[in-house]
Amino acid sequence: MSPIHDVLILGSGPAGYTAALYAARANLKPLVLAGIQPGGQLTITTEVENYPGFREAIMGPELMEIMRDQALRFGAEILPLSVERVDFMRHPFTVWADDGQEFRARTVIVATGATAKLLGIPTEHLFMGYGVSACATCDGFFFRNQRVIVVGGGDTAMEEATYLTRFATEVVVVHRRDELRASKIMQERALRNPKIRFVWDHEVIEVLGEPQRKVTGARLRNVITGETSHHAIDGIFVAIGHRPNTRFLEGQLPMDDRGYLKVELGTARTAVPGVFAAGDVADAVDRQPVTAAGTG
């Protein structure tokens, strides 16, 4: 039978590594199952300028390497495994990894994060971090005095578009429909902003530029007529929402209608004593490295 760990951490972004650091310093010998993307979303981010403690920008992958090594230095164990299913109905808790291994623990911290929904077009991955982004708060500063596209029509898109007007000379909102899904107040705020222009009934079908260097344009398609057009642009922000990585927890922990884990207000406690949720997996609002680390 597998040993019983004091603390088992699922996920290895800022929340997971911070939880591992604190647990290790408390001599709890935490085990981290790092997941399919060790380091989380910051590993596909280039320069990070809004994480405290660095005078100059730091590359996302480097920041996550530092967090990982800090946790390891204090005795955390990290395995490159993903979680396939869990049993939180009985104590100690049981977690099964994708390679079939079984882990048991007295305490589990879920820090599997949330994944930005993307467009699903091949070229978007070639430019991710080089002009294509899913986080205006993270990357908006790099587009000062440039033109950018925001894809989406919900609250997230309107928030991103409005935020980007602090830096960009023009923000072009591209939406597949002829009306927005955002709340009324967010719509009005965006529609009143002279820096925001709307392109209705269109979708982005191709990102143009020099792959892994810079974006120079986008090809759009009219979803009604099928006509395509080229738009000179410096950046594309995909703002069609996030998907919390909680599918493997269905039936085990309470979630909201979008799949985010529910926690006790002001804490990381879930409804199951001994199971905690940290970072973006329980945060549908901020989704920032520093807030994720704080809950970790």
Active site residues: 135, 138-139
Q: How many residues does the chain have?
A: 296
Angle separating helix axes 155-164 and 184-192, nearest 10 degrees:
30
Note whether 214 and 132 are within 8 A (CB): no
In 3D space, the residue among 2, 38, 36 whose CA is nearest the CA of residue 17 turns out to be 38
Task: Calculate the alpha carbon distances from 294 to 121, 249, 265, 286 in Å.
Answer: 34, 23, 15, 12
d(CA 139, CA 3): 43
Pseudo-torsion of CA 47, 48, 50, 52, nearest 10°? -130
